[in-house]
Amino acid sequence: MSDNFKKILAKIIGQYINLLSYILPDKALVLAYGFFSEPRNGKLQKDKLPEILQQATLENIKYKEHEFQTYTWLGNQNKILLVHGWESNAARWEKLLHILKKSNSTIIAIDGPAHGLSSGTEFNVPTYAEFINEICKIHSPKIIIGHSMGGVACSFYQHHYPQNHLEKMILLGSPSDFNVLMQNFANTLGLNFRVCQLIKDHIKKRFSINTDEFNSQKFLKNTTITGIIAHDINDNVVAFSEAQKLAATWQKAQFIETKDLGHSMHDDKLYQSIYQYLFEA
């Protein structure tokens, strides 16, 4: 399916949802929120795991109605937690893992809601943060590294859950404002204001979250954790300006600007810089 066809199809779906918002708003919400929250990529099959995940100790943790998957590469008492982003899974950390293993740390990666081998069809940050909280109760990592929406989940976690184990946090290609993400989604489908408001009202009712206040700037404002914000100026998924917002608020973080890495942020030089910050500074 060509990119042009996908764009046209998205607009057609968006216009259909817009029409429904006037006559059947509940159905419009179900459709719109489904497109917003259900990942279409990132699932794994246990019998076809990438080799890097096969090398780990796997544990499936039951939490409320969920089951979430963790992968542990055993090392010393220093523990690092890796948190992937939207439409991804724990295997995205393979390149960074090879570098972090030099520290002989115990490294734990997690599959987010509806990703990898974790259960469900819906991804949302509050649930992801609950997963992080559960794994942190078990392992108390000193370091947490999040990519993209995983970075938002990390920021949300450290703000909403009392803890004293975290010392450093690394955010890679991470957005700040929920409303920016919402507007990007609305633009992709061509959704009207009514549909956007339906989604925002649904989130407020379900999670007791005002989306106007749902941003990592707020979550990081008073943190005492030190860390790194790394973002690529050519990121076409999460705008570079989102990282600038985080850097303006999180005073204890170093800001690393990269070029031509895109949204993935996979780069040996960057990963070596992160390693040096974590273990050689």
Q: pLDDT tens digit string along 38-70?
A: 999 999 999 999 999 999 999 999 999 999 999
Under 8 Å between Cβ of 72 and 106: yes
Domain that holds residue 15: 1-37+178-209
Q: Looking at residue 2, what is its pLDDT? A: 67
Task: Identify whether residues 103 and 190 lie together within a single domain.
Answer: no
Q: Looking at residue 79, what is its pLDDT? A: 98
Mean pLDDT of the chain: 95
Task: Identify whether residues 125 and 254 lie together within a single domain.
Answer: yes
Task: Identify whether residues 7 and 124 lie together within a single domain.
Answer: no
Fill in the amino acid letter for 163. Answer: Q
Q: Looking at residue 259, what is its pLDDT? A: 96
Q: Looking at residue 230, what is its pLDDT? A: 98
Best CA proximity match to 178, nearest among 131, 218, 205: 218
* Residues of the chain where predicted confidence (pLDDT) is lower than 50: none
Q: Looking at residue 6, what is its pLDDT? A: 81
Q: How far apart are CA 177 and CA 173, in angstroms?
A: 13
Give residue for tokens 């909280």.
133
Task: Identify whether residues 152 and 235 lie together within a single domain.
Answer: yes
Q: How far apart are CA 84 and CA 110, in angstroms?
A: 7
DSSP state of 281: -
Task: Identify whether residues 138 and 269 lie together within a single domain.
Answer: yes
Q: Looking at residue 281, what is its pLDDT? A: 74
Counts for the chain of helices (H) and strands (E), in that order: 11, 8
